[in-house]
Chains A and B, each alone.
Chain A
């Protein structure tokens, strides 16, 4: 197969994908959440017939449109980069991974793109109810598209519903429902869309607070804060709940990532949940022999309870997962490497027998591939055959640890802010609470930070795998020269940055212009 992996090519390909994904994700969450806030506002307009609600809806819709266009552009590149930069991956799992992307296009993108035209241009061309239905369908389409891409992403972390076919040298789907209802996918979907809802709520409350600070458009601002804060409070509760359930599924599907999120080096029963911690430099170097947390506040036993529902249960640490723990039945990475090599050797023997036309040998080896025990006990570790050192399965622990903890802290902060905004908007006191208005305004970037940190935990925490245990990132890459990928990286970096600057500038100007309701 691929024995000489060009690491600089892998790094640049990763950098290009990360660049595109991060830029894409700067815009998508706002689309996911703001679309439903528009739905609520327009419903108010249709039910009350109030022109003020119509103008309010149109104001937020304008900001939605500015954000939407750049999200769509960056998303296009992302889909095709699986083929352009990760072609070996595309073949190895395309039989499974391609399906959600196709469904996303057929089911979600067309819904979104068809009705977004009605939403923007149909105000005077279609009935009020048809227009409202279009806004609903845009919101549903946007969130449906998130479902399918997250199903695909979750499959990479918890590959289910497939079997390896040695003839085609790829994994093939055997259960669509297992892929769709993959527990990682369900948690990831709910957690991700609610993070978008919270981000959009804080965006709306923040911008509205700016109007209050400037003493402009007070009625619109107050109405918007009420809608967004109620929506955001409920979303925050679901966000925290699904964060908890996500952790549990991660603990089962990606135990090394889970241990890194908690910087848990030594596995233990009655494991405590780290609320705050500082890691040593050694942690960065992947040193497993030192006590790597130098300052820590923890809730005793809570990690065991969260993970397994039992205070006395054992939670595996990084050392257990690398060196194995016989007592707890945890296989070492070295053993997995050996099993992966056995699987790979068998595959090469199979290919060789095929080439020689040795049908008896082909049949014999194929029987082994079809054996469920071989698939579960050996082939599931196929990716380990490319790992040289057992410690290579440890991701960057400090990055994952800090990203995770800051994200969690921000999640709780968002709930507090939304509840207060709801209360203060309901009793009307928000109009005179200048400090709180400023808190709302400066909170706007925080959910963006939390969102990116969440994806850092997800994607950096799963390294070195592109498909958990089956394929490391290094061998998934397309056969290109490093300079080729460098060139496109810098082209896209320059383009996306210029577009981001333009987007922020246009958005700021449109906000400053305001909906101009008060002038009438």
Chain B
């Protein structure tokens, strides 16, 4: 039965997996969100070290998810990989640059003779913490608002302006999504601090900061969602593959795929519930509600961008060059081969969960960071 799966099923299967990786990536941006607080939440060196060590034990997951997201996109939708990465060069390069400085900042920050000084590496963490969620949000915004490229008859892409992706910051809806992702990451970061660090003073400050960061998050999220649902979208005629504009396309997608609408609403409610739990109770577990909610919301948004005859990477230059999960995917053989490989994903999730619990069993406290163990 598995050998008989159709190309269109596999295209949808792989769009689902890529979307799942994207949604997990957004959840894991709590690491970046936490980093963005190292100068404002911590009032002394000990608190700063606790925050950095809490985040530092998870930075590899965000990093690996980003790399796997790139690899999976390359394998399953190579035309997107070629068109977007080669075209929106500056946006992707800025994102990558910010991740490069993150990886070494953790390991080198507290080591003696690190040449650049402790403060420099902390600034690296701050830059990565603020810039990468913002830019990732803006880049993903173009999945709905479009980008300035065209393809020739050999499917080779050309960007039609010298800004190579930077022009995306001029679109209000892209900015709204960028702001949403940035402040969501910050809220998730605060919740992770509450979950992982055993320090009443720090936790009290984290709860206070939650309220302040909630406002820009809600404004960005509401603006993005309302404008998305009311806007025109890039639809595909399944008969001939022609792209055309459809009013309320994304709202139609939600209505025609009610499961996604339920996912979106349930995810939103879970995030709001986690915020309530953070602000009005002493529980340390809101990160799990918001994490699950984030995955549901981001997954549903990615799925309405690609499913139901929608272009997931519309072209503003030449509408017929727009990418869909049909015209941008790998061949039937490659997608099928990759499907068999994807069956190990539950095993991967299983051992991540096991190792995560093993490391997080004991919360980080002042005693631990003054010990002799491996410290960031």
Contact = CB atoms under 8 A, between A and B. Distances in A.
B331 to A, nearest CB: 4
B61 A498 contact: no
A69 B106 contact: yes
B230 interface: no
A91 B112 contact: no
A495 B70 CA distance: 23
B71 A172 contact: no
A83 B81 contact: yes
B331 A172 contact: yes
A82 interface: yes
A126 to B, nearest CB: 5
A79 B355 CA distance: 27
A370 to B, nearest CB: 14
Given A70-B103, A109-B68, A118 B74 contact: no
A79 B75 CA distance: 12
Interface stretch (B44-52, B88-96, B305-313): B88-96
Given A113-B63, A120-B374, A351-B154, A88 B359 contact: no
A502 B60 CA distance: 21
A499 B355 contact: no
B101 interface: yes
B85 A94 contact: no
Contacts of B358: 118, 122, 125-126, 130
Contact of B355 (A99, A114, A176): A114
Contact of B64 (A65, A109, A121, A351): A109
B347 to A, nearest CB: 10
Contact of A90 (B81, B113, B359): B81
B104 interface: yes
Nearest to B105: A69
Interface string A114-147: 1111101111111000100010000000000000
Contacts of A74: 100
Contacts of A62: 374
Interface in A498-513: 498-499, 501-503, 505-506, 508-510
A389 interface: no
Given A83-B81, A90-B78, A106 B334 contact: no
A479 B151 CA distance: 11
Contacts of A123: 373-374
B173 interface: no
A50 interface: no
A105 B111 contact: no
A471 B341 CA distance: 29
Nearest to A131: B358
B17 to A, nearest CB: 10
Interface stretch (B138-146, B155-163, B295-303): B155-163
A110 B64 contact: yes
A2 B156 contact: yes
A227 interface: no
Interface stretch (A163-171, A259-267, A271-279, A399-407): A163-171
A66 B111 contact: yes
Contacts, number: 262
A345 B93 CA distance: 36
B366 interface: no
A73 interface: yes
Interface in B39-73: 57-58, 60-61, 63-64, 66-72
Contacts of B210: none
Contacts of B374: 62, 65, 120-121, 123
B237 interface: no
A491 to B, nearest CB: 7
Contacts of B338: 99, 102-103
A122 to B, nearest CB: 6
A69 B103 contact: yes
B153 interface: yes
B2 interface: no
B226 interface: no
Contact of A479 (B58, B158, B351, B355): B158
B119 interface: no
Contacts of B334: 95-96, 98-99, 172-173
Contacts of A110: 64, 68, 348, 352
B108 interface: yes
B104 A70 contact: yes
Contact of A91 (B67, B79, B331): B79
A104 interface: yes
A435 interface: no
B249 interface: no
Contacts of B157: 87, 91, 479
B97 interface: yes
B326 to A, nearest CB: 12
A99 B60 contact: no
Nearest to B159: A479
B215 interface: no
A114 B99 contact: no
Nearest to A85: B86
Contacts of A112: 64
A26 to B, nearest CB: 13
B82 A91 contact: yes
B170 to A, nearest CB: 19
A76 interface: yes
A502 B116 contact: yes
A103 B341 contact: yes
B13 to A, nearest CB: 14
Nearest to A174: B333
A131 to B, nearest CB: 10
A96 B348 CA distance: 24
B68 A106 contact: yes
A288 interface: no
B67 A355 contact: no
A450 to B, nearest CB: 26
B333 A502 contact: no
B324 interface: no
A419 interface: no
A76 B155 contact: no
Contacts of A85: 86
A89 B181 CA distance: 32
Given A76-B66, A87-B83, A478-B89, A117 B57 contact: yes
Contacts of B115: 498, 501-502, 505-506
A211 B255 CA distance: 71
B5 interface: no
Interface string A145-183: 000000000000000000001001110111010000000
Contacts of B84: 83
Interface stretch (A236-244, A320-328, A421-429, A480-488): A480-488
B89 A505 contact: no
A176 B356 CA distance: 33
22 contacts: A73-B100, A73-B101, A77-B100, A83-B82, A84-B86, A84-B93, A87-B156, A88-B86, A94-B330, A99-B337, A102-B74, A109-B68, A118-B358, A125-B362, A168-B331, A172-B330, A478-B86, A491-B97, A506-B112, A508-B113, A509-B111, A510-B111
- The 8 tightest CB contacts between A and B, nearest first, are A94-B78, A87-B86, A83-B85, A105-B68, A98-B75, A98-B74, A478-B86, A113-B60
Given A90-B86, A110-B68, 4 more contacts: A1-B154, A70-B104, A98-B78, A506-B108
